[in-house]
Amino acid sequence: MASRARAAAPRWAVVGVVVAVLAALPAIVGALPVTDEPVPAAELRAAVLASAGVQYSGYAESAGGLALPVTDQLDSVADLFSDRTEMRVWWRGPDDHRVDVVTPAGETGIHRDARGTWTWEYERATATRAAATPLALPAPPDLLPATLGRRLLAEAAEGELTRIGARRIAGRDALGLRASPAEPASAVRQVDVWVDRASGLPVQVVVLGETSEVPALDTRFLDLELSVPDAATTAFAPPADARLRTAEEAEIVLEAGRRLAPVRFPPTVAGLPRRTLEGAPPGIGLYGRGVTLLAVAPVPWRLADGLRRTLAQSPDAVTDGTSTRIAAGPVGLMLVDPRDAEPYLLVGTVTLDALVEAAGQLPLPGRRR
């Protein structure tokens, strides 16, 4: 019996080695060198922008490093940019896709159609309908590498782009493209986008702020299949016994913007040009381009009080007269509460100095009532 066990030991040792190699295979494949190609930065960016029609399915992971201070009404946005988000995705198009957020507690499915989104919470059997709006709050589909990469490169100037080599991501050869914002007001140092060279699809996006080597956001595919998902997979109809709700979070700022009289926003603030967004209320101002953006929005009283307290609790908060401001990585927030006007919020990927400069150039959004 002992001799038989000794004879079997080498065989089991071989099995153990094979199992270990198989377990490490994804990491080994990812570490294999990838030969770069002499694709110019502008050409690679064009391939990214042309990838909007690429259909795919896969598994993605987003890691946020932004501790955004928000009230309970907007805590889902804070979680999205400060935690790790694991997502299964089936993408047939911008208005036809499904993203399941996977957590230890269960799954939440987000189904997009032409009129808006259904969010299906499996464990709570709750379906929430949100209409498509021009100022919808960020959601997990917005953090997919393909979606985010196209958005961040859409307005990048050719002089802001450089090539950064190649690597293998999700089993695919990817070429690197870096965008470095030229605006002095920008709090973003660089955005690195890794692009599948076969399809032009962004497969990883890394955003770095000016003052930290820790990414403010790192989102990547762990698995990717370029094929057309089944329409039945992305479609959604609430079950008969589901609890139905209507999303209200996105209406908080829109409501305040509508009830204020139109504001004469200046053409530029802090060196950033004003931009327009179809459907946005006239009481909301948008400035900047690319990854350097600034929004000015009136804040309802029920949100302003809680936000003021939350900002003030930050050890890095700066309170100056009627304003409080902080930086959360490359995102700056400044709440202004004039004595004779409505409170308003400035938020964007700009420096704190740029927020102060912008606030001094803006008209008051409305008188107290």
Consecutive 10-residue runs of the chain (369 residues): their mean pLDDT?
Answer: 50 51 46 76 96 96 68 50 83 96 88 94 91 75 94 94 95 96 95 96 94 88 97 96 80 54 83 84 85 86 78 84 85 85 87 94 64
pLDDT at 41: 96
User: Any residues with CB less than 8 A from the CB of 368 and at least 6 apart, and which?
Assistant: 340, 341, 342
CB 146 within 8 A of CB 153: no
pLDDT at 252: 54
User: Any residues with CB less than 8 A from the CB of 58 and at least 6 apart, and which?
Assistant: 88, 89, 170, 221, 222, 223, 224, 225
pLDDT at 203: 98
CB 288 within 8 A of CB 274: no
Total residues found in the chain within this entry: 369
Name the pTM for this structure: 0.82
What letter does residue 50 receive in the DSSP assignment? G
How far is 198 from 242, CA to CA, in rounded Å? 42
pLDDT at 191: 96
pLDDT at 271: 96
Sign of CA pseudo-dihedral 263, 264, 269, 271: positive
pLDDT at 362: 87
pLDDT at 16: 52
User: Any residues with CB less than 8 A from the CB of 20 and at least 6 apart, and which?
Assistant: none
Q: What domains, with CATH codes, occur in the chain?
A: 41-246 (2.50.20.10), 251-361 (3.30.200)
For residue 330, with 0-12 CB atoms within 10 Å meaning exposed, 13-18 middle and 19 or more buried, which class applies?
A: buried
pLDDT at 114: 92
As given in the structure block, the two tokens for residue 276 are 């327009």
